[in-house]
């Protein structure tokens, strides 16, 4: 009798386990579908630095400390894009990672100081590109973006779709885009739909 009861319990548990594994499988299939439909989610795109690829950061107006940096990342945020707010929120009132700089671009007459106050980004590695001079020179027309400084030179740039992606950039030594994507084209208006455009923006007073 006891054996039968134990076996019935075993069968019941086995059935529950089977259903749970099946549910996990379903979850993965659904996740796959969601990812296929929302191709942009967590998908970074390379940005062209054009003639500024391989030059020292100070050439485009970035601090000269970066010219001697082995590997630094300049996170370019604007005060109008939702993802920028999410990324800035991650650093609110905290120390920045050692290799991270933040460049805030106030667009559409916005105020960069408000943005910095909102997220308490009080750090000497937080910069403001008030007249969009740096972004304009680099032809940067999408935020959030990351400029990767390697060996004291501007090496690559890419969009930063998520905090997960930013963490990956920060912990990486080198970024290799899949064949055919690196430097394939300049991002056009349609390519970066849904993101903020900073080209030609006027800085705050």
Partner 1 sequence: MSQVAITALSAIATILLAGVFLRSSLSKARAISGFQRTLNQLGVPFALVSILAWVVVLTEFITASGLLLAPDARWPRVGAVLLAVSFGAAAAWAMVSHRRIACQCFGTSSSRLGNRHLMLMPAWIGLAGIGQIVPSEWSLINGLMIFAGVVYLLIVIELFRLRPIMREMRGYRVALAPAYVRPSAGAQGEGIGS
145-150 and 153-159 as β-strands: parallel, antiparallel, unpaired? Answer: antiparallel
Nearer residue to partner 1 within complex by CB, 31 or 92: 31
Question: Does residue 55 interact with partner 1 by CB under 8 A?
Answer: no
Question: Does residue 8 interact with partner 1 by CB under 8 A?
Answer: yes
Question: Does residue 169 interact with partner 1 by CB under 8 A?
Answer: yes
The set of residues, in sequence order, having a beta carbon less than 8 Å from that of 69 and lying 6+ positions away, is: 99, 149, 152
d(CA 50, CA 139): 8
Nearer residue to partner 1 within complex by CB, 4 or 188: 4
Question: Does residue 18 interact with partner 1 by CB under 8 A?
Answer: yes
Helix ranges (H only) for 70-127 are 82-90, 112-118
* Stretch 84-123 residues interacting with partner 1 (CB under 8 A): none
Question: Does residue 194 interact with partner 1 by CB under 8 A?
Answer: no
Span interacting with partner 1, options 50-58, 106-114, 172-180, 192-200, rule CB under 8 A:
172-180
Q: What are phi and psi of 193, to 5 degrees?
A: -55, 140
Question: Does residue 176 interact with partner 1 by CB under 8 A?
Answer: yes
- Sign of the Cα pseudo-torsion (167, 168, 171, 176, in order): negative
Question: Does residue 184 interact with partner 1 by CB under 8 A?
Answer: no
Report whether the peptide linkage leading into residue 21 is cis, meaning its omega lies within 30 degrees of zero: no
Residues at the contact surface with partner 1, assessed by CB under 8 A: 3-4, 7-8, 10-11, 14-15, 17-19, 21-26, 28-29, 31-32, 35, 42-44, 46, 158, 165, 168-169, 171-178, 181
């Amino acid at each position: 009798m006891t054996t039968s009861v134990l076996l019935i319990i075993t069968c019941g548990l086995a059935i529950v386990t089977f259903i749970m594994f099946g549910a996990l499988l379903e979850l993965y299939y659904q996740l796959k579908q969601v990812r296929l439909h929302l191709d942009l989610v967590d998908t970074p795109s390379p940005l062209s630095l054009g003639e500024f690829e391989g030059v020292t950061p100070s050439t485009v107006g970035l601090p000269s400390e970066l010219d001697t940096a082995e590997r630094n990342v300049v996170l370019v945020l604007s005060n109008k894009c939702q993802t920028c707010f999410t990324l800035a929120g991650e650093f609110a009132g905290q120390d920045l990672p050692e290799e991270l700089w933040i460049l805030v671009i106030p667009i559409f007459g916005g105020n960069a100081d408000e943005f910095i106050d909102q997220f308490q980004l009080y750090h000497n590695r937080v910069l403001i590109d008030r007249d969009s001079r740096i972004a304009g020179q680099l032809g940067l027309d999408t935020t959030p973006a990351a400029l990767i400084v390697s060996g004291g030179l501007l090496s690559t740039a890419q969009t930063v779709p998520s905090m997960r992606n930013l963490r990956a950039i920060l912990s990486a030594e080198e970024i290799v885009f899949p064949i055919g994507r690196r430097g394939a084209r300049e991002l056009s208006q349609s390519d970066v739909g849904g993101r903020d455009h900073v080209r030609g923006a006027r800085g705050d007073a």
